[in-house]
Structure 1
Amino acid sequence: MYQYIDQRYEGVNFGGRDLRDGELVRCTFERCTFVGASMEEISTTGCRFVDCNFTGASMNASTHSESAFLNCIFVEANLFVSVFTSCKMMGSDFSKAQLDGFTAAGGDWSYTNLRHARLSKQDLRGICLLEADLSGANLEKADLRNSDLTRVNLSQTKLKGADLRGAVMDGVNWPSVDVKGVRMDAAQAILFLRSHGAKVD
């Protein structure tokens, strides 16, 4: 096991390296590459990753607390049973990433690309997903209570059994949302009806 504290890296290529079972504390990585790196069981606390590339990286069972991954690329990365606690993931791309069993406890996932992500039965309560792209994603039986879904893209998203009560859903394109089997509160139901031309007093 290795430990790095208060280190800064810019433009460094960590691609293909064995970085397993390490601990990173308050480190900063800008425009670094982790393509294909082995990062299983790595832990980060208070770290910042800006414009970094994690394509194809193995990050299963990794844990991250109050870290930021801003505009990062996680295409085809393995995040199986990884944990993100109060992390900022704004603008990051999770195309074809393995997200089965992962945990997102709070945090800001605004502007993320989660198209076609498998997120069924996930506990996503209180998460900010402002303008995130969840089109085609599987959110069946997911718990999205009190989350921020402002202007989120839910086109062709599977929501059967999902709980949206208390979620902020301003600017959602309701006609593109299949609400069959979805748990909604009164305010959301009114928004849905108005989007379909109903006059609600």
Structure 2
Amino acid sequence: MADPIEDETFEDDDWYGEEIVDRAYARCRFLRVDLSEAFSRNATFTDCTFGNVRFNASRHVDSAFLRCTFNRCNLFEAEFTGCKLTGGTFTDCDLRPLRVTGGDWSFVSLVRADLRGVTIREARMREVDLSQANCAEATLSGVDLSGATLDGAVLTGCDLRGSDLTALDPTTTAVRGARIDADQAVVIAQAIGFTIG
């Protein structure tokens, strides 16, 4: 990987369809950049800020966005495969219909995020903050949600099968119609005080 580009500001740039491969950025600011249909592989963004950036239909494979801030970004039909977004913060972003496969989204803040219908599979999301997030009809299957903050989250109709739900309190989370498996049902029952058997 090349030496990182550091402390630069990219403003009103057109990166439509750009291939970002084996590149690194640190403490950079991306403002109103068009990354629609861009593709990244083995790219690293560390402590970067993305403001009003269009990620529409972009694809990211084995890339890292570490401790990055996303404000008013559009991720319509964006895909992240095997990516690391630890410590990131999403504020007022359009995240539908986001697709995530694998990777590590631990310690990410998605407070009040609109995640209706998104698909997240086999990802690590330890201690993610989903407070008041709307995950109705989403797929969060095989996801490690241990230590997650779920207060006020809407999980109605959500597919949660195979996910770690040890942090789920059904008395503070809307769960009507959510799909879980038998083992998860036991974990939740015990968490709210039932004795099994």
Q: TM-score, normalised by structure 1?
A: 0.90
2:91 matches 1:99: no
The code of the aligned residue for 2:93 comes to: A
2:52 matches 1:63: no
1:141 paired residue number: 137
From 111, 114, 119, the equivalent of 2:115 is 119
Runs of 4+, deviation exceeding 3 Å: 171-175
Return the structure number with greater strand share: 2
Gaps of 5+ in 1: none
Match of 1:124, SS state, is strand
From 12, 26, 29, the equivalent of 1:30 is 26
Q: CA RMSD in A?
A: 1.7
Question: CA shift at 1:174, angstroms?
Answer: 4.5
The code of the aligned residue for 1:165 comes to: R
Aligned equivalents of 1:194, 1:103: Cα separation in 2: 32
Question: CA shift at 1:173, angstroms?
Answer: 4.0
Of 30-39 and 180-189, deviating more is 180-189
The code of the aligned residue for 1:73 comes to: T
Contact 2:63 2:83 in 1 (8 A): yes
Residues 103-133 of structure 1, C-alpha deviations (whole Å, 9 max, x = no match):
2122111111112222222221211111111
2:191 matches 1:195: yes
2:37 paired residue number: 41
Match of 1:94, SS state, is strand
Aligned equivalents of 1:182, 1:50: Cα separation in 2: 35
Match of 2:76, SS state, is coil
Question: CA shift at 1:47, angstroms?
Answer: 0.4
The code of the aligned residue for 2:51 comes to: T
Aligned equivalents of 2:15, 2:32: Cα separation in 1: 11
1:158 paired residue number: 154
Question: CA shift at 1:195, angstroms?
Answer: 2.8
Question: CA shift at 1:197, angstroms?
Answer: 2.2
The code of the aligned residue for 1:17 comes to: D
Match of 2:91, SS state, is coil
Aligned equivalents of 1:133, 1:125: Cα separation in 2: 17
The code of the aligned residue for 1:108 comes to: D
Contact 1:6 1:25 in 2 (8 A): no
| Overall identity of the aligned pairs, in % | 34
Match of 1:187, SS state, is helix
From 9, 14, 17, the equivalent of 1:13 is 9
Contact 2:126 2:147 in 1 (8 A): yes
Aligned equivalents of 1:48, 1:184: Cα separation in 2: 35
Contact 2:109 2:129 in 1 (8 A): yes
Aligned equivalents of 2:167, 2:130: Cα separation in 1: 14
Count of aligned pairs between the two proteins: 197
Residues 127-168 of structure 1, C-alpha deviations (whole Å, 9 max, x = no match):
111111112122122222211111111111111111212111
Q: TM-score, normalised by structure 2?
A: 0.91
Aligned equivalents of 1:82, 1:144: Cα separation in 2: 16
